[in-house]
Structure 1
Amino acid sequence: MLYLVVAMVFVLVVAALVVVYVAYPHRGERMPHTPWLGEALGKAADRVPVIEEDEYDLLRLTGDHQR
């Protein structure tokens, strides 16, 4: 039972961090009461790899691969 409670608290904390990131640093705004948290989330987001526009073609599954 304790493991379930700890897991649920962890899930809620991660979900809250995602909501905070989307609400402020993702839009380029500063967080009003905890600017250190916004800076930390912004730095973490800069380190995550993203798919660039020219890489979208690599992900499309079309019938062109049978030449």
Structure 2
Amino acid sequence: MLFIVFAMFLILLVATAVVVFVAYPYRGSEVPGAPWFGDAVRRWSNRLKPLSEDEQRGLRDHSRR
């Protein structure tokens, strides 16, 4: 039972982080009340490498099978 509660808390935490990211830093705004969160998310998202055209095409082809 404790594992389920912990898992649900973690799921809600990740979902909240995604919603806040899409609502504020992704659009270039500061997060009200938590500017440190916007800075942290921007640093994290800058580390991610976007997919190249070949990688995107490969994913599309793979998903059609």
TM-score (norm 1): 0.76
TM-score (norm 2): 0.78
2:48 maps to which residue? 48
CA RMSD of aligned residues (A): 1.5
Percent identity, aligned pairs only, is 42
May I ask how many residue pairs the two structures share in their alignment?
A: 60
2:22 is matched by which residue type in structure 1? V
Structure 1 runs of 4+ with >2 Å offset: 54-61
Structure that is richer in helix per residue? 2
Structure 2: 5+ residue stretches without partners:
none
Larger Rg computed on CA atoms: 1
Cα separation, 1, equivalents of 2:57 and 2:12: 35
